[in-house]
Structure 1
């Protein structure tokens, strides 16, 4: 039975991954969250499902010492500052604080996840690692649309993208396929943190005014497409930043 570990599964895309993977009767699905007691959306979604496990530790005990797929979805998106440009911080101390906290989650988060579960992944013959990325980390996107906003998020997600690519290079001779995956523009506000709905509306207004094309997806639509990409991963994809529609991410 293939095993899937979703890091950051309490809401949004991670929660939708759990819902859809749970429908695969031959799959062992593990939802990894920092605080299971507060993951109310997730707890409700997996109630009664025998092939889904809620964990903060002991993943090896659930899978029998192996892991086929690691899907790292966890990220930091503070609704209060997510769309800040460099000049939107009152002072450099608050800018630094926001960047440092974002880097811990978006830059180091994928590194910590991969490092923690690498022994289990190495014990599998599948060896697939997927880190959810964003086009906001791409210089082509920033230049093309003069997108000077979301500086902490974009810069630290770019760090996470590079870290993922370095792991792809490191692990390629072991038969791993390590990719970053762009999920599209997804409205996850229904299960988001407080203020998520207002922040998403503000983002849409700023995006439209920047001239960026918009195609809003539901979490269900995005994850259906993402899973098709993940199911089709091959060694030739190793190290790429893939789009949810299939193939390598390209602007436009």
Structure 2
């Protein structure tokens, strides 16, 4: 049984991934910006003690530090899932710059802040794995420019994960980015082509087979390597 931290379990991929990990027997610590937003599907797990819920806003260093203090024992899996799509205006020709900064704060700086805060617990695991939910929209092999704040934040998050993989390699800690697919969630929309359950199960299977040979790489939810 592994201990996993999943950020942003209130909805979407984070919610479903937490459910998949719980139902296979893992211990899960889920984070929420508001403790009043506990999803009904996870409430039974929380009441039974299989799921611990912690308030945390990835924009707020004090909130992250408090969450890290609330988690005892080794952490085997850390999933940086919490994210935002960014502002309505995010074209290179018409940018909401405050919105762009907030997108970077959540999607790029947030994962790094969370990893740094939970490093003591990760270092106590025999096989620690850090997984950041990225997006193929951030791949530099695509020249598309719609939602550029989101794309740029995910490209930057990939580079941060690559850097973490380099710096944590001597300690045997794996760090990867994962594209979850175009998923039918509030962010992905009803027209997306992938069910959230299928994506979550694929990500869970990928996490299980990660090794140091994979660290620093970018995968899709099926475990296929993607270009940065």
Report the TM-score, using the length of structure 1 for normalisation.
0.79
Q: Partners of 2:125 and 2:220 in 1: how far apart? A: 26
Which residue of 2 is the match for residue 73 of structure 1? 81
Q: Partners of 1:48 and 1:16 in 2: how far apart? A: 14
Per-residue deviation at 1:119? 0.5
**CA contact under 8 A between 2:5 and 2:29: conserved in structure 1?**
yes
Larger Rg: 1
Q: Partners of 1:79 and 1:217 in 2: how far apart? A: 24
Decide which moves more: 167-176 or 70-79: 70-79
Which residue of 2 is the match for residue 13 of structure 1? 13
- Gaps of at least 5 residues in structure 1 are 90-94, 190-195, 205-214
Which residue of 1 is the match for residue 218 of structure 2? 241
Which residue of 1 is the match for residue 59 of structure 2? none
TM superposition outliers: structure 1 runs of 4+ over 2 Å:
56-62, 78-81
User: What RMSD over aligned residues (CA atoms) do the two structures have, in Å?
Assistant: 2.0
SS in 1 for 2:223: coil
Q: Partners of 2:21 and 2:128 in 1: how far apart? A: 17
Question: Structure 1 residue aligned with 2:149, among 143, 147, 152?
Answer: 152
Per-residue deviation at 1:228? 1.1
Q: Partners of 2:54 and 2:145 in 1: how far apart? A: 38
Q: Partners of 1:221 and 1:53 in 2: how far apart? A: 24
Which residue of 1 is the match for residue 115 of structure 2? 114
SS in 1 for 2:226: coil
Question: Structure 1 residue aligned with 2:92, among 86, 91, 95?
Answer: 86
Structural mapping, 1:1-252, within 5 Å: 1-25=1-25, 27-37=26-36, 39-40=37-38, 42=39, 44-49=40-45, 50=48, 51-56=50-55, 57-58=66-67, 64-78=72-86, 80-81=88-89, 84-89=90-95, 95-142=96-143, 147-189=144-186, 200=189, 216-250=193-227
**CA contact under 8 A between 1:60 and 1:120: conserved in structure 2?**
no
Report the TM-score, using the length of structure 2 for normalisation.
0.87
